Amino acid sequence: MIGLPTPQSTGLDNSTEAYTISPQRPSNNCELQDGILSVVLPISYSVICILGLLSNSVALWVFTLNYSSTKTSIIVYMRNLAIADFLLVLCLPLRIYYQNHPGPFLLCQTVGAFFYINMYASILFLGLISLDRFLKITKPLQIYWLHKVSCSITATRSVWLFLILGMLPFFFEKSKPGSCDGKCFHFKSKSVVGGTLNLLVVGIFFLLSLLFLNFYSKIAMKLKSMSIGKVQQNRKRVVIMKTFVVLAIFILCFLPYHIVRIPYVLSQLHIIQEQSSKQTLHIANELVLCLSALNSCLDPVIYFFLSNKFRKTIICTFEGKLKKVYTLNQRGTSFVRSVTEI
């Protein structure tokens, strides 16, 4: 009597079996390896996490403690930026642990979404800060709705709502099955819809980058055209250099990631099919993503160096001179110093 064939002897195509691999189960035959990432990423993310938690905790404490009576639009944007950076670094311990370990599919997806929501929140809040500075410096006699505290609060809430709603489609995205599905934060094949959405986000980022360049070029031109005494010429050059700190950090942290993102998504769509290219893009994508997370540590540096009030507030707070802190935050500022003042 001829027995029924077992599943192993049916000769079925392996793709059917691959499709049934659970996202929660590790895959031992992943063709793309982490290589140096298994060492570099845990160390880098650990350093960023520690520095980010400390610096952003101090920033939030200073904003809450010392600016409650002098709330302005720029304070609202900077406080939300600090919140976004703080929440982002909270994701890093899980990214560190699950970088080399399989994890529950829903947990990995949620942590990934949470990470990107806060990363793009940082980008948009830097954009709002730059727009606020641009309008106040180039057109100081006009008052725009963004300068009103109530409107700035509405703008920040809209950013959070937009990003949360915008991330929801990625939870329902059906990825193509692959040999690396068991790994939490790893190369995943994408559907056409998912890949298109990712490339659309990259395109929006580059449009925002062009706005950044436009803002800061016009700010620099405005400062250069100001007629001030020879004694203040050196200070004006310092102010111009400080103006470009935000732009420099923005480009350093976020531009490499979005440049690499284009070929990386194409490889996820299998438009780029060479295995060696996919391996290289996987390594490059994870490294530049780590660089983007570094922004959470650099934003408090922006507060410190661009805002004289923030810098003096921190120094006086740690020295216990709370009365002097209150006095400093009540003083007015001149137009030339408005670039570095909150």
Q: Note whether 316 and 324 are within 8 A (CB).
A: yes
91: nearest Cα among 158, 157, 46, 61: 46
What tokens does 68 get? 């409650």
Domain-embedded: residue 12:
no
Domain-embedded: residue 20:
no
What tokens does 163 get? 């990003």
d(CA 220, CA 236): 10
**pLDDT at res. 61:** 81
Per-residue pLDDT of the chain (342 residues; tens, 9 = 90+): 444 444 444 444 433 333 333 444 444 467 777 788 888 999 999 999 999 999 999 888 888 765 555 577 888 898 999 999 999 999 999 888 877 677 677 788 888 889 999 999 999 999 998 888 888 888 877 777 777 888 999 999 999 999 999 888 777 666 666 556 667 777 788 888 888 989 999 999 999 999 989 988 888 888 777 655 555 666 666 667 777 788 889 999 999 999 999 999 999 898 988 888 888 998 999 999 999 999 999 998 888 876 667 777 777 766 665 555 555 555 544 333 444 444
SS3 101: coil
Domain-embedded: residue 201:
yes
Domain-embedded: residue 279:
yes
Domain-embedded: residue 17:
no
Other Cβ atoms less than 10 A from the Cβ of 128: the count is: 21
**pLDDT at res. 200:** 94
Domain-embedded: residue 315:
yes
At residue 114's C-alpha, the angle toward residues 174 and 176, to 5°, is 15
Instruction: Give the CATH number of the domain where residue 126 resides.
Output: 1.20.1070.10
Domain-embedded: residue 24:
no
d(CA 171, CA 185): 15
Q: Note whether 189 and 175 are within 8 A (CB).
A: yes
d(CA 138, CA 182): 53
**What are the DSSP calls for 163-210, one per residue?**
HHHHHHHHHS--PPP-TTTTSSSS-----HHHHHHHHHHHHHHHHHHH
pTM of the model: 0.81
Domain-embedded: residue 294:
yes
Domain span at 51: 32-340
264: nearest Cα among 279, 245, 244, 249: 279
Outline where the chain has alpha helix (H): 14-19, 37-66, 73-98, 105-138, 149-171, 192-225, 233-268, 275-293, 295-306, 308-319, 322-328
Domain count, the chain: 1
Other Cβ atoms less than 10 A from the Cβ of 281: the count is: 23
**pLDDT at res. 332:** 43
